[in-house]
Amino acid sequence: MQYTLMFYLSPEEFSARTDPAKREAYWAAFMPYMKAVRDAGIFRAGAGLEPPDTATTLRLREGKRLVQDGPYADTKEQLGGLFVIEVPDLDTALDWAARYPAGPEGVVEVRPNLSASAAA
Amino acid sequence: MSENHEGERAARVHRTIEQVARDSYGRLLAFLAVRCRDVSAAEDALADAFQTALETWPRNGIPEKPEAWLLVAGRRKLIDGMRRSRIRGEAIPDLLAGTENAYEMAGESLLFPDERLKLMFVCAHPAIEAQARTPLMLQTVLGLDAARIASAFLVRPSAMGQRLTRAKSKIRVAGIRFEVPEAAQLPERLEFVLEAIYAAYGSGWDDITGADARRKGLAAEAVELARLLVQLMPDEPEPKGLLAMMLHCEARREARRTQSGSYVPLLEQDVTCWSKEMMGEAERLLCEASRRGRIGRFQLEAAIQSAHAQRARTGVTDWNAIALLYEGLVRLSPTVGALVGRAAVIAEAQGPAAGLSALELLPDAVVQTYQPYWALAGHLFKRLGRISEAQCAYSRAIGLSEEPALRRFLEAEISKSDERDSDTHLIGSSDAEGSVHHR
């Protein structure tokens, strides 16, 4: 089954990724995780996202585009990146989510990908 | 064939099917569910198999191995259903292979692998909404219907039905693994299974008067689940601890109320009404558990109950010993119930002022709506002669009580509170007496 691991970051974690004083420590923890996921042969796709203040949200209302600055969800932790992995079951996916070197407020949401047969 | 004869035959078929449903439902369902990783599909298939049995057995006779027959019929329905939906087609080979083996085994000895433990771990999986875990276990492992479970948990049958459906859908769509977890994860996961059984028992235990037969039944079902867990995990001490704790409480069930249905607190109970048989079994289990040398929350809970049970033999309660056990319990599991229970015991061992100090350590936000806290506070204020505070605390406890018998008991305590009888060591609530800290 394919699962998407969604990594939610606090504002401090977002800034740690680029802050010259913290960035080395941040990436030193993250890169081995990334490597482990790839080495396990389960990695299917992934992306890291720029901080939420770079987000733009679009709504279509009566054929009109309403474009707004900022992310869709107004929460402290925001989506900072995601992996799509291929593993046998939720428990294995959770094992991989648990290995993510999250900060003290780190959250990982794990969701099964909609299977292709659902659309058939 | 005479009509009479036919009627007899149909009755025999019904009896057999009822018997198989009672004895083997959980095992049959677990076997099918583990192989298709879909609890609702397995339930539907098994229901169809039972239905087919009801239709064909009166005509063709009862098969030699009814369980094996149902297993094979259930498997066939399951595969048919999956071929039709084609959504999880990949599970079919597994299902086929697994059940062919099982049929051979069942044919030989009536034995097929017992997968109920896997099913229990799936039901108590942390990915499942906490409130659905026990109901799901009761439904799948014991075969209780949603309406009956709903009444035990005091929710509408439709709400319970939805909760169960949602949980089963989560199991299937999220792809929860049907396995007993590995050693590293076992303690945490086992904790959820134990917790779920404990919650079921607590709901049954709260019904003091025994007026509600279904809730009383829930306590019995929790005991049955715990027995099953002990049988399936003989090397784990905590299931034995949980079962021992519940048996000690069950041993006192009849002594908890008078003929007229009034609540009798632990220390006023007539020990000759306690069941020696259940206490004996509880002691044996606790002894076996302790030999493993791995102490745990439920063994400590059982040890506290065991210490209370000694009163049947010695006539006295060793409060210092119980206080010590509570220290261990709150260290491992500082639930509000355990902390209030500890305060009650400190009051008995060292006096009401010490008990009150222990009680005052609990944060306000936690105890605001916790009935046993206020019942105990009322009792301790009363023993200290702080009458107006006692009345205030008692009335809060009454306002938070769900049980009429408990309310009446507390109302009687308020009216007695002008008398100041510091000799009676009453502890005014089922939880504070240290029985079931399930919340």
DSSP annotation of B370 reads -
The string of pLDDT tens digits covering residues B200-233 is: 888 777 666 666 655 667 788 889 889 989 998 9
- Domain map (residue ranges) of chain A: 2-114
Calculate ∠ Cα B341-B345-B350, nearest 5°: 145
The string of pLDDT tens digits covering residues A65-119 is: 999 999 998 898 999 999 999 999 999 999 999 999 887 778 999 999 998 766 6
Query: Which residues does residue B83 pair with via DSSP β-bridges, in sequence order?
Result: none
Residues of chain B with pLDDT below 70 are: 1-3, 86-111, 206-216, 417-439
Does A118 contact B at CB distance below 8 Å? yes
Does B127 contact A at CB distance below 8 Å? yes
What is the distance between the alpha carbons of residues B299 and B287, in angstroms, rounded to a whole number? 10
Give how far A50 is from chain B: nearest CA, Å.
29
> B332 in a domain, yes or no?
yes
The pLDDT, as a whole number, for residue B252 is 93
Structure tokens at B215: 């809730």
Mean pLDDT taken over chain A: 91
With CB atoms and an 8 Å threshold, state whether A89 touches B176: yes
Rg for chain A (alpha carbons), in Å? Answer: 16
With CB atoms and an 8 Å threshold, state whether B176 touches A112: no
Domain end marker among B114, B141, B167: B114
Does A117 contact B at CB distance below 8 Å? yes
Burial of B143 (0-12, 13-18, 19+ CB in 10 A): middle
The pLDDT, as a whole number, for residue B182 is 83
| ipTM confidence | 0.78
Beta A2-9 vs A107-112: how paired, if at all?
antiparallel
For CA atoms B131, A91, B99, B86, the dihedral sign is positive
Give how far A62 is from chain B: nearest CA, Å.
34
Which distant-in-sequence residues (6+ apart) come within 8 Å of B21 by Cβ? Answer: B50, B143
Q: How confident is the model at residue A44 (pLDDT cuts 50, 70, 90)?
A: very high
DSSP reduced 3-state for B339: helix
Does A94 contact B at CB distance below 8 Å? yes
Which chain B residue lies closest to A119 (C-alpha atoms)?
A: B87
Domain end marker among B114, B133, B163: B114
The counts of H helices and E strands in chain A are 3, 6
Q: What is the CATH number of the domain that holds B380?
A: 1.25.40.10
> B105 in a domain, yes or no?
yes
Give how far A18 is from chain B: nearest CA, Å.
34
The pLDDT, as a whole number, for residue B109 is 46
The pLDDT, as a whole number, for residue B86 is 60
Query: Which residues does residue A61 pair with via DSSP β-bridges, in sequence order?
Result: A64
With CB atoms and an 8 Å threshold, state whether B175 touches A90: yes
The pLDDT, as a whole number, for residue B142 is 84
Structure tokens at B157: 């049958």
With CB atoms and an 8 Å threshold, state whether A112 touches B174: yes
The pLDDT, as a whole number, for residue B132 is 92
Residue B419 backbone dihedrals phi, psi, to 5 degrees: -80, -25
Percent of chain A residues past pLDDT 70, beyond the cut: 96
Domain end marker among B114, B147, B178: B114
Q: Structurally, how many domains does chain B consist of? A: 2
Give how far B85 is from chain A: nearest CA, Å.
10
Report whether B298 contacts B242 (CB < 8 A): yes
The string of pLDDT tens digits covering residues B161-203 is: 999 999 999 999 999 999 888 887 787 789 889 988 888 888 7
What is the distance between the alpha carbons of residues B430 and B435, in angstroms, rounded to a whole number? 6
Of the two residues A5 and B398, the one the predictor is more confident about is: A5
Does B87 contact A at CB distance below 8 Å? yes
What's the pTM value of the predicted model, to 2 decimals? Answer: 0.76
Best interface-test mutation with B: which of A42, A86, A90 has the largest number of B CBs within 10 A? Answer: A90
Range of the domain at B27: 3-114
Considering the domain delimited by A2-114, tell me its CATH architecture: 2-Layer Sandwich (3.30)
